[in-house]
Structure 1
Amino acid sequence: MELDFILLANQHLQTDWRKPSKRLGKAQEELQQKTNTHFDLSPQEALFHLAFVDEFSQLSSNLHFWRRFALYFVETLRMTPSLEEFRDKQVIAPDQTQLSKLIDSAPFFSGSEYLNSDCLEFHWQALNNYFSDKIKKFKGSCSEFFQQFNPDIHLIGKIYFHLVENKKGASPFAFMATYSAGLNDQGTVRHRPLSYALTEYEKDQEKLIELLSTVQNAAEESPYLKTVLESGELFYPLGLSPEDCFTFLSEIPLYEAQGIQCRVPNWWRSGQKGASLNVSFGEKKKSLVGIESLIDFHASIHLDGLELTLEEAQEILKSSQGLSFIKGKWVTVDHDKLSKALQNWQDANELMDGDLRLGDALRLVLSNGDNLLGATVADEEVEVSCGTWLNEVLEKMRSPELLKEAKVHKDFQATLRPYQQLGLNWLTVLDSLQFGACLADDMGLGKTVQVIALLNGLRRKKTSSTSLLVVPASLIHNWAGELLKFAPKIKFAIAHPGGGDFLLGKDENIEDFNLIITTYGLVKRDKRLKEQLWHYVILDEAQAIKNAGTAQTKAVKALQSKNRLALTGTPIENSLGDLWSLFDFLNPGLLGNKKEFTRLAKSKDLSRIRQVISPYILRRLKTDKSIIVDLPDKVEINSFAELSKEQLVHYKSEVDKLREAIADSEGIQRKGLVLSSLMKFKQICNHPDQFLGGGPYKTTESGKFQRLMEICETIKEKREKVLVFTQFKEITEELAKFMESYFGHSGLVLHGSISVKKRKEMVARFQSDEYVPFFILSIKAGGTGLNLTAANHVVHFDRWWNPAVENQATDRAFRIGQKKNVMVHKFVCKGTIEEKISTMLEDKQKISDEVLSSSGEAAFITEMENDELIELFSLSGEPS
């Protein structure tokens, strides 16, 4: 298994183990086990040790990110002047620009939606406290403390190298070496020229040697520094030529690695980019954009950020290598790179004469020019970016708070919350630019009302034609009710056999309506829907098209429209492939083809994907108190149940049968055997009579029934309400009988056989003041779309092995309108496969994780070796 860190909404970290994409080596396994051991002591312990892991170690993209963060902290400590003098009193502050760069480079991982500067500052302070606590107890020096982790690490010593531009002197640069002579009255470091040390330590040569040890170590690796040191020039101010200055600047990493603090001009610290081809798209303003529109293209040669003309580049090539003063700035000149940039510029202008399709331009931004010139080029050779106007547009799309407020018309019968108004502003701008959009707000934050506000605005425009809304069948009446309530002037029809009064008949004209509501199933069958050109195609629960190869997804993507909108609370439900399929619908070509995207998704740094999709996806979380302050917390716990004697007998018997059967099976037969066994064991864990196919369903014969009774005792006393989810239709009625006898009140049962009209009535009844203590729901039929905030308890009677689906079910109660804390009980039979699989369930929550099976843990289990499989199914403590 491969270790990852999960980021929680409260900024804390948790460990998580998942199946790796490829077999791990012994060294990698040992490293992960060691990291996990450190984490058991504290997350800061694990992060601090992770900073000293070799950068070439095979870590997941998630751990690579946290290693980079921890390494930045340690490097900041190492580069802190006079760390020994300050010792445990030192407060190290991070650079906000560096934190922003770290966030931008972060991969998709579980909880990455909570990653921001506040989160990293929280962990930075935790590391600060960890270091202070450790160094207080450490008897040696700070240097010795760090060398426990890496013998080659050197803290910044007392020697400083200073380099400045010398605009008035004979030489263009001036150099001086100093040393720190303790702290002044203000508590800051007091500097003296290094020549003073010759006098100060004249009678103590050992201290002088100790002071100069960092310089001596660096000189052993630098012929230039060795010459300056042996000649004695190091002890006095020096004038440097551009050639010598370039040598000095190039060797800064060497000096600092040995513990010499270097203070140099900001233009060098900010990074020398060298020569490259810069390709820019969208300098000129356009009234309409859209993914298919044409935008302007401009290629230019850049040298450390300075744009050069062809003549200037050719003239610079004639000068010497190293530093050159160009356009009032010192820049690095590398003849080979500049010649390559010139050639790339000529090739690009020949290949891309004229305008370019926006989708292709953004695709090149994603790949940073990969294959732009007919062959893959290094990142530093080509820099692809959006022009001034297009970049301004995209930045506003990334920050809805910067957008102009969209008008909400008087006939819209709802008051939008502030964040919902921002959502409408964002949707309106993307509509005007003809970009496809994904509204990915957390469940319960009101995606529906934001879209209805957009549709109500479109209704008033003469240019707007009929739009199509595609939803799961269970949500048809939810949308109809919301439309009638909030935007009664929107004329809509329902194209579905269960549409009732709103049924769209063959004789009706589609253009007579502002909106047609239909289902995913009907899209596959109805030719009329496919032939129509829609203004918008809007998908609710858009994770329905996550699998690009299904007939349903292909049918939806074949719909013709001027623009597209997707609503989903889980934009990445299983893997990054879900994201590609979603954007292949919204803005085709933006993420390249499936093969190109898969190659890019395997990289350690997925920041390019985030940067490219961020303008077109808006996601707010209900755990963010700045979004919604009146939504209480939910508490999720695993509720463990013991198997009854009857359950134990059946469970052990099925393990023995599986052991015999699997030894003689392979291929499809083996996979089918494993999957059918999974269902049998889950049925046994629920109740032996469910496994046997009938019976009285005695409470004493099921540990889960007994556990449910215990939980309901408190619910009954407080006269509260509970939702109970199961994946098995056949047990819903038996659960209802049991709970009705316990509560003394009848409840409700919803499964796939219940009509859409009946579901609406049941929801209304449960939400009313009538005491309906429980609602039993099959997770497929009732796991999405329903508003059941009358309940503040949720029980997952048997686990659905996809937490994204479980969370959606929980969100029937944990949503706007809920006034109490929501208790979520996830039932697990101790010692069984349920307990073992629960440790793997978090794999599904890697929203931003790029390595997940499209069909979940079940697919993973079928690939296990026989002995691993039997071990998984066997009762804990029982021989396998």
Structure 2
Amino acid sequence: MPLWGDLAAAISGKATVSELTMLLPSAARSPLPSPESGLNVGARRPRISSWRVPGLLVEPAAALDLLDVVDDIARLPAAAYEPGESLDGAPVPGTSLRYLAVVAANVRDMVRRGRILPQLVAEGDGYAARWRPVLTGADGTRFRELTAAMPPVCRAAGEERPSVHVLGELVAGLADAAVRQALPERLLGGHRPGTRSPLADRWIIALTGDDAFLPGVTAHAAEQLARPLNAWMSQAQRADGPFRVCFRLAEPPEPEATEPETTEQESTEQEATGPEPPTTEDGEAWQVEFALQGADDPSLYLPAEFLWAGETVPGLHGRPEETLLAGLGRAARLYPKIDEALRGTRPSGIRLDMAGAFYFLRHAAPLLQAAGFGVQLPAWAGKSRLGLKLTTRSQRSGPGAASDQGFGLGQLVNFRVDLAIGDETITEDQLAELVRLKVPLVRVRGRWVELDDRQLGAALRAVERRRSGEMTVAEVIQEVVHGGEEDLPMVVDADGLLGDLLSGEADRRLTPVATPVAFHGSLRPYQERGLSWLAFMSGIGLGAVLADDMGLGKTAQTLSLLLEERADGARPDPTLLVCPMSLLSNWQKEASRFAPSLDVYLHHGGSRLREEELAERVSRADLVLTTYGTALRDRGTLAGFTWGRIVCDEAQAIKNSAARQAQAVRSLPARTRLALTGTPVENHLAELWSIMEFCNPGLLGTAKAFRTRFQEPIERHGDEAATAALRRATGPFVLRRLKTDKTIISDLPDKLEMKIWCTLTPEQATLYQAVVEDMMGKITSSEGIERRGNVLAAMTKLKQVCNHPAHLLKDGSRLAGRSGKLARLEELAEEIVAEGDKALVFTQYAEFGTLLQPYLAAHLDRPVLWLHGGLPKAGRDALVERFQEDDEPMVFLLSLKAAGTGLNLTAANHVVHVDRWWNPAVENQATDRAFRIGQTKNVQVRKFICVGTLEERIDEMIERKKALAESVVGAGEDWIANLSTEELRELFRLSPEAVS
């Protein structure tokens, strides 16, 4: 495990060095490296084997401290997840460690909510005082989710055991340690009892002591103490039956109107006097009703009165009233008010005064719900609260006034802040009346409103500093993001373009933009809508995120935007596009194909221009292409130019906001910014913050504020209000279209084919040139069959170099970081499985597939199946069945010869030809494993080509003769052997653009 040494340092010696027996994926002579290592030993058929490996045994308390640190690192915007990356010099937590951190965070949350019980457990040869979690209700659901998500390595120690058993032991140990940290003081005062003292006293002391073990306990004494404790735990666990106790809060009825009808003027005067006084009957008009509710079907609701009438309940074993009483007894520990009802003979509910109803709303109801009980609250609960209303109006004249061309984050608007309940504002006099009443629930204009001292205090402070004046559009949006002040939610009422943006109705302001005349091809309708949106956002000076699904044409839409801006001879400032190195060639080729009129300059590599030469070249360019690494190295130089736009492709590359390359890209000035990504959020919401910070700096506030306001509430607690607020704040700046959207699918072809242009690494280029020189010497000096054999051998070697140096050298060396084609395949496979899709990856070479399978499986942490000619029929059938039937996203590697025909693999909607057969008929047959009868999705086909190599030149030859391709190319590559020596030399030549 690559992090063991660092773990030892992190826990400051609180671990024991040991050897563990672990079940690990293995090659013939050693276990395979862990996924985070990025290494690969090229195992032909990985299998699970038992190994003795060094390890650290960590006590639960020390493990909790360590996992708390891991959890903090993983949730920071600076978190990095790629193999080999580091965070300020520290190791990056691996998948399994991040999983354990999530488990630990859930355990701490359970302890905070009191979801634990003390127990006496057998341990070794004696007994110990331990705390154990109560996994029912929402906690039980979460436990099952964590069980399903457990990485295999977490259950690799010792004998193979089910995940549920491993997680159960882990949660139990962490829960015990978490309680002891939370309760450092003794539960029982006085002197520590000795071994002759009552076991119960010794047990209570041990629940918070450093040593939980209880020496000298007899089996009989232990059984006497454990019996009631076990019964207590059993009762707590019963909440997972087919029915659960449910509590429904019923509000008092509206008072009947007894006054004579009033005139319109009198009605207006009454309304202006303030809120209606609270309505009660003798102080007790609220009711908490008891019932049984179906655990799986909440609509099955049986009131207590129905149960006491002696009615039978299908599916419920025993008498329903006994189930009700048992549940009420358990709930009374969380909500003691229930004890009053249990003193009666047939409890059916509790009568409450207003303060009691408010306590139930704010305190008891969340506790009961978290413990697995049903809770039903009035529809207004949590919604009708005192808040702020921000009203903005566009300025019609003067500096900063709104205009269709001048709108931007810096535009000034007039604003006013009012107090409000829902959409209705209230006056200061009405607020004063609320303060005077000093009640937590009041009926205001026919609706109940929750109030507390914090809200009223915040409201009074807001009134004292009630502001009106001017603010910028950016400040208005930030008010939306932060959601108001203190405990007062914010409602925004804006007019004009700002109002349309915040309400999600800006589309009606879009001016339709057709496919530019200079664009070679036709944009599909949804792509023209994307172009219109990009032009609109750019025109008003706002940054944007084009987050279309993979394959929907983000590149074409971006190029068409540049062409549209340059229509009629316009010469806007150049666009700087930053992308991963593996995509540089792709952008060059796509620009040449779709937008040949654009002047494109590639700023990359050791020969790139500098100083005056660079300035002159940039001044002539429409589009400047560079990589994230070059942008970091040339940060100062690039910052000196006037950019009309900066585009980040594969913008997840800047998801780590603290990484130097992300900081470098954000520091470059531009009139507007555009992020292109199919996965705006891969692991954490902090990644969305980082991308939005690039597009519109400062819009979402600081990283710390974003984490508090959105990330923690959404990721840890599934907060729907925070989710809605984040969607409202970011929605205007993100265009997201999915392939599953019916309006998009109808626009797509059944089969979309595209070429993926890859570059060689310097190592590949050196090997490639060496092979060319060696093989051309042999070809020149040979004739006939021997020459033919040398040509085909040269072809094979050069294609192997294009795949990976290890494919040619066959030395079992590492794979990571040595092949441009492999880097692009990794990125593509990650995106495919992240979208929940499946892919077929064809290779001409079985030995290359054998190298790829364990490497991709470790890198993706997803199934990577491998079908080749050496598999027996039963093995092939099993792989096909798993791929077709298993719902999990995965990659299926296939040997082109073994799987190019005959198989039905319609579960895939992506096909990748990682190396080419150069026979369109053969490649189409392989593609048709997915694109055939039974396929219900659109199939995206990608053909990898190394630019500047024989792969590109053969592709050009096929394209020139496409109509006759099948007859020209024949059944394979034999036709190449008939080329002249000069033709071969030109075919094999390595061009400068081939090397990254």
Q: So what's the TM-score if we normalise by structure 1?
A: 0.50
| Structure possessing the higher radius of gyration over alpha carbons | 2
Q: So what's the TM-score if we normalise by structure 2?
A: 0.45
Query: Which fold has the larger relative contact order, with Cα–Cα distance below 8 Å and residues 6 or more apart in sequence?
Result: 1
